[in-house]
Every structure is written in C-alpha cells, then in structure tokens.
Amino acid sequence: MNAKILKTVVLVGNPNVGKSSLFYRLTGTHVVTGNFPGTTLSVTRGTLITHHHRTEYAYEIIDLPGMYSLTEQTTTVIKGALFVLSQADIIINVIDSTQLKRNLYLHCQLAALNKPMIVALNLYDEAGYNGIHINTDSLALRLNCPVIPTVSISGNGVMALIKTLTGLPLTIDKPATTTPDRPSWQDITQHIAAVQTVTWRRKTLLEHITTLSVHPLWGSILAFMVFGGTLTLLFMLSASMEATILSVFNFFLEWPLRALHAILENHRFLQTFLIGDISGSPIDFENAMGILTTGFYIPLGQVAPPVIAFYATMGLLEDSGYLPRIAYVADTLMHRYALHGAAIIPMLMGAGCNVTGIIGTRILENRQQRIIAATLIAIAIPCASQTGFIVAMAGRMGGMLIACLILSLVTLWHLIGLFLGIQRRNNYQELIMEMPPLRLPRIRPSLRKLLHRVKNFLSDAIPITIIGIAIVLLLTHTGLLTIIAQTLFSWTRTIWGLPQEVVPALCMGLFRKEIALTFLRAIPSLTRSQAFTATLILTLWFPCVSVYAILYKEFGLKTVCLMTLLMGLVSGMAGVIAHMVFTTFWYTT
C-alpha cells in the first residue's frame, strides 16, 4: 500500500437539499462539530478513508451551512464560507434534483472559484416521482464536471460518488476568482431546457396536505392539532417508558444494592452516600437519595423517558419537512415581538436544548432580533430536561394543574415577547424562506438521529446528576445545607408559600433541572399547589451553566446580566402570583 494522500472536501449547497444525510453517508460516525479555524463559521467535519489504485486516500469532509448564493449577502457566514472554500481541494455541490434551476445559480458561482468539483444530484428519486427526468450525461458536459445522481437518505449513488471522488484530478488550468459574479439566469434557463424534461401528473394526498399546511386558517388549525398531538404522544410515551425502566431497575438492581448495603453496615456515611435509604420493598429509587440509587434512576428513569419521547416526536416533524410551515403560519404572530416566523424554528430547537436554540438564532437578521429570541428561549422555552422535569412532576400536581402550568408558560412567553418587542416593531424584514415538500420520514435515519441525541443527553446528564447529589449529601452531612436554607432562603414560605426543603432544588436547578427534580420530589409534605409553584419557578429559574456560557459568547457580559435580571424578576413574580392565586381564589392542598 502506498502512502496516504490527504485532501479537504467541502460539501456545499442550498438549504434542505440533503447535505447532512450525504455527509453522514460519507463519514459515518466520525463527526466533529465546531468553528473552522480562522472564522466564526460553525461547520461539521468528518473523515472518509478510501483506496484507489493501491493508494490510501484520507478526506476531511467539511459540511457548510446551507446557502443560496455567495454574493447576495455580506454576513459573517458567507465570508466564512468563502474562506473555507478557498482552503478546499475538492468541492461537492449537493443539488436538489427537484429544484434544478434555483440550485444551478449557486453552482455557477462555485464554478467561478475554479476548484475541482463534483455535482451530487440529490433527491433523484423524488425528481422521478414528480415526473422530472434529467439527462445527467448532458448536464455533466454543460457544467464541465462529473454529475452523480444520489439518494443520500437511502445511500443510492453514494459509492459512485466516492469512486468519482478518488479519481478526480486536483488541478484546473483556469485561474480562480475570490469574488464570484452573479450568474446569468438566461444561461441557467438554457441549461435546464437542454437537460430536463417534465411530465404532468396528478397531485397526491400528501401534496394536498402540503397546500393546506400554509393556508391562513387551515394551516393554523393543523399546527394546533400537531402541537396537541405531540404533547399527548410525549406524555403517553414517557409514562410507558418510565414504568418499564422502573421494572428493569427493580429486577436487576434490588438484590445487588441490598447486598452492598449490608456489606457497608459498619460504614454508615459511605452506606448513606452510595446507597441511601432502601428500607422499603421494593426500593424507592426516587427518594433513596444515594449515588447508586437516585443518582442513576433520576436521569435514566424519570428524565430520559420524556427526553426520548420529545426527541422522537421532534425528529419526525423535522424529517417530514413540517417545521418550516410552522414558521410560515407563525409569521404574523411573531411580528408582535419584532421578529418574523423564522424565529420559531430556533425556539423549537430550544425545546430540545436551549444551547442549540440560542445558536440557531444566528439565522435572524440582526443582533436585536437575536437577543429577543434568545431571551424568550432562555426564560420561557423549557428544554428537554425541563420538559422531563415537568412530566415527572405531573403525578404530584395532577392533569389540571399541568395544563395550567403549560398555559402559564405560554402566557409568560407572550408577555415577555411583547415587552421586548414593543420598541422594535419595525425591526424585522418580511419572511422569505423555502418550503420543502412534506415527506414521510424514513425510520432508520430518524432512529439514528434519536440515538445520537439521547447518547449526548445521557453523557451530560448522568455525571452532573451524580455530582449534584453528592454535593447536596455532603452539605446535608456537614449541616451547611440547613444554614444556607435558614439564612439565604428563609423568605421562600412568605412570598412563594414554599417550605425551606425546596432550597436544594433551587440551588441545584442552576446546574441541571433533573437534579432539582431529585430533591423536589423527595419532599413528602409538598402539596399540589406548592408542587405547581415550585415547578413553575424552577422552569423559569436561571438556566443551566452551559446556557450562560453560550449567551456570554453570543451577546457579551452586559446583555447576559440584563437577561439574568429579567429571569430573576419573571421567576420571582410568577411564584408570588401563583401563591396569591392559590391562597386567595383556589386551594392550598
């Protein structure tokens, strides 16, 4: 075998053309996400190793964010993309076969860079289904580069793409340009007329639903139905998974934990620290308060089920192409907050992870819009961990109070948005975005995405939960927790109607909400009204440390301090109002 040859390959194309699926097909699981050196552009990088003529080739594959043009914008993203493209050895231009004309606009600009290039004619199966036939040989001659039909979601054509990649020459005789011109639409139209034929067919049921999904009335009704169905499915799936996981814990762990508890009989502190109270039968994993009991059960048995259910349902909505339609339907509403409908997408992403949602606000036009959207995400959009926290507290509150909690969060989201956007109502541009067709999600890619997200969540949640429980157990053993509760949080019963036992939950909620859940559910005297108030405060309470880190990176210290002040005011006032409502108009049981 000859020496390894290293090359840099950049995947570039319009949004929603299947670049990410093709990237996975080329790189497998060898994926790293981060900023490209020398830019602030967030890219995904992976590795492809192949062989050709007894020579091993190693490719660094870089997946750029989707873009329509290299000249229409002057943002940091476009400047960063041009920098990354200048470092590339080979460009793979991923094109949507069903939208050939629009995609060729970017291709003509990429061709002006005079880099070795391959066109991956993706979604080729959908083009055929829609009656579109493309003569790939003729298109390759006109574009002066290889054209490979691909279906990235199923893998069709990927091996042909890799074979073409390994045999592609790395030099082009023509001089390159760093400032691509605007292509001629007349030339693009001539290319299309020469290589593409379209046959008429009837609209399918899915295409009729696609039309209804952007209707002013029926689109809104469909969005509410999808939202309600998502919540119902989330609660049903999470309850079923939680019962299954508890059974697994009882079956496999009860005997080993009781044996270890007996071995540590003469080491009381270590016994309490590792195992906790397991006097009941079966073991009460939720309230045992040991590292090996509650420390593992809370993230795996109570938080993971709703997180998995959320990621599963959200993944299906993503893969079906429905999320952009929610943005379109929500556009008029978002104008009230000085935003446009596209801002709803990072907010939905924030419902999975606030950090991801805040990074996603980069799609918005200016800093003020991004600050408004990020503030709404950090305060009033529960992440998957917080959603798990809320679902786990449903048993304490009951269905009616859970519905009131969701309504309270929606109301606060609306009021905060009105407050932040009141001075900036003209701070947005009209919404122009692509509407990909509705598709039936593919099971394997959806499961692969779900497993990746759940793995990342558990790798973060389990260590931090164990550390949080260990800290509180040490504080309890030394008596420091009682001192903190009496000195700093003696006012919780006066203004919120909460016992001082909620102090560990309030403190640990700064790190992870599932840690707060551990201590909140361990309070036996907590009434339904107190459970509602505590859950509302902790949901609005200051976000985890990683959210603060990304807020500081994106907006600076001054903005983060102002956001923190607003979070404290909102969560504190929400607790006061909830306590007043319960004590004055409702009940305290």
pLDDT of residue 92: 94
Asked whether residue 45 carries a pLDDT value surpassing 80, the answer given is: yes
pLDDT of residue 411: 94
Q: What is the pLDDT of residue 503?
A: 78
Average pLDDT, the chain: 81
β partners of residue 121: 95, 149
| pLDDT tens profile 270-321 | 888 888 888 878 888 877 878 888 878 877 887 788 778 878 887 888 788 8
**282 prior amide bond cis, ω within 30:** yes
| pLDDT score for 427 | 55
Residues β-bridged to residue 94: 13, 120
Question: Where is average pLDDT lowest: 155-159, 362-366, 498-502?
Answer: 362-366
Return the minimum-mean-pLDDT range out of 8-22, 107-121, 402-416, 503-517.
503-517
Q: Which tens digit of pLDDT belongs to each residue from 164-213?
A: 988 887 666 555 554 556 778 888 888 898 999 988 777 777 777 878 88
Statement: residue 585 has pLDDT above 50: yes
Q: What would be the CATH architecture of the domain defined by 2-198?
A: 3-Layer(aba) Sandwich (3.40)
* pLDDT score recorded for residue 577: 93
d(CA 372, CA 563) in angstroms, rounded, equals 10
Which pLDDT tens digit goes with each residue over 473-494? 777 777 777 777 667 666 777 8
Does position 74 have pLDDT exceeding 60, yes or no?
no
Question: pLDDT tens, 214-265?
Answer: 787 888 888 888 888 887 887 788 888 888 998 999 899 889 999 998 898 8
- Tell me the C-alpha distance between 514 and 536, whole Å: 14
CA distance linking residue 402 with residue 393, whole number of Å: 9
Once rounded to an integer, what is the mean pLDDT over residues 90-116?
91
Whole-angstrom distance, CA of residue 394 vs CA of residue 400: 9
Residue 412 CB partners (closer than 8 Å, separation 6+) = 379, 380, 540, 570, 574
The predicted pLDDT at position 558 comes to 92
pLDDT of residue 34: 43
pLDDT at 181: 62
Among 100-104, 335-339, 404-408, 437-441, the range scoring the smallest mean pLDDT is: 437-441
% pLDDT > 70, the chain: 87
Say what the pLDDT of residue 31 is.
Answer: 46
Look at residue 574 in the predicted model and tell me its pLDDT. Answer: 93
Backbone torsion region of residue 449, taken as left when φ is above 0, otherwise alpha when ψ lies between -120 and 50, otherwise beta: alpha
3-class SS shares of the chain: helix, strand, coil, % to 5: 60, 10, 30
Contact between 83 and 63 under an 8 Å Cβ cutoff? The reply is no
* Spans of all domains in the chain: 2-198, 218-584
Per-residue model confidence (pLDDT) at position 37: 44
Confidence of residue 32 (pLDDT cuts 50, 70, 90): very low
> Of 198, 194, 458, whose CA–CA distance to 302 is shortest?
458
Report the pLDDT averaged over residues 103-124: 91
For residue 569, name the pLDDT band (cuts at 50, 70, 90). very high
Task: Give the pLDDT band (50/70/90) at residue 87.
Answer: confident
